[in-house]
A = this chain, B = another copy of it.
């Protein structure tokens, strides 16, 4: 949280003043507006936020590619934003979206296609859940290869 803004203004105010991190980003959680499932966790910079609010399409900032991207611009799997909310300290946003096809670049509906097994000890295991591929990444991203 920025030291220049009071806690009460950030938490109780009605001005959207995102608290960007050192890299200029806020965390964005996208959920399926119908099911409530978390589809993906990604990041937005100021420009991605602005474009998302203005256009109603989800825009993100890729930390690995260091580039702004409109979700679905390569894959066609766009996200229409039905509602955006921010949290108490304004360093995260939650968007409820209509997801075209699959959110994950692996072709799954959600990036969260593996459950963490309960239990003790080292070597925690995962199990696939809702992991059916809705598209073939090799096909969809062929132009990028």
Interface positions of A (Cβ within 8 A of B) = 1, 11-16, 27, 29, 31, 35-38, 40-41, 53-54, 56, 64, 83-89, 92-94, 104-106, 108, 111-120, 123-129
Contacts and interface: CB of A to CB of B under 8 A. Distances in A.
10 contacts: A15-B123, A29-B41, A31-B31, A31-B36, A31-B38, A53-B124, A56-B118, A84-B116, A86-B116, A87-B111
A106 B126 contact: no
A64 B3 CA distance: 12
A12 B120 CA distance: 23
B85 A106 contact: no
Contact of A16 (B37, B38, B84, B125): B125
A87 B116 contact: no
The 4 closest A-B pairs by CB, nearest first: A36-B36, A87-B111, A85-B112, A16-B124
Given A94-B112, A112-B94, A85 B15 contact: no
A84 B115 contact: yes
Nearest to A43: B27
Contacts of A120: 53-54
Contact of A126 (B13, B37, B111): B13
A144 B44 CA distance: 34
Contacts of A118: 53, 56
